[in-house]
Amino acid sequence: MTRLEFLYQGEQIALQVMPERAGWRVILPDGSEAAGLQAELHEDGSMTVRTPTRAWQLFFHINGDEIMLSYQGRVYRFQRAIGRHGATQHSTAEGMLTAPMPGLIRKVLVQVGEQVEAGQPLVVLEAMKTEQTLRAPYAGVVQSLNCREGDIVQEGVILVEIVSGE
């Protein structure tokens, strides 16, 4: 599970997000849940967000810690709360690989329980029309995998956790 924190009109909003077979399960600030969410990025800077019963087309722009979403002619501005106030981020030294920037997961090259070698490619992230391969910091076993191909991720989100083989 990943916790995302944003500021919207001065109020902090926290979402909990976890992958599911049919998409993502999101726990909203009021405790309600949305299941089966899927998001798809398009070349024109738009995004389609789908639930099992509905789809929304919106435009987005990310500039540093600010995320702007445009939906039906109205612009919503969010700021990432994590990182702005000195929150610590997980490091590869701890075996937690995080997204170095917002982007789209193009390839997931490992599975939970898989033995990996130091430097082995784990995930390919596309950001700003370039691909970045995230590699294992050391030999170990993939303990958790928090992303799937096609997922949109934000900077600092934990993608893969590796436990040392020692």
pTM as predicted: 0.49
Domain count, the chain: 2
Q: Tokens for 94, please give them.
A: 């701890």
Query: The tokens 């070349």 sit on which residue?
Result: 43
Q: Determine the structural domain holding residue 131 and report its residue range.
A: 92-164
Q: Give which of 134, 75, 146 is closest to 100, Cα–Cα.
A: 134
Question: Is 86 inside a domain boundary?
Answer: no
Q: Residues 36, 101: one domain? A: no
Same domain as 128, residue 75? no
Q: What pLDDT does 165 receive?
A: 63
pLDDT, tens digit, 9 for 90 and up, residues 127-151? 877 888 988 888 899 998 989 999 9
Number of alpha carbons in the 13 Å side-chain half-sphere of residue 140: 21
Task: Note the pLDDT tens digit of each residue in 54-65.
Answer: 998 888 777 777
- The helix or strand, by DSSP H or E, that contains position 125, with its residue range, turns out to be strand 121-127
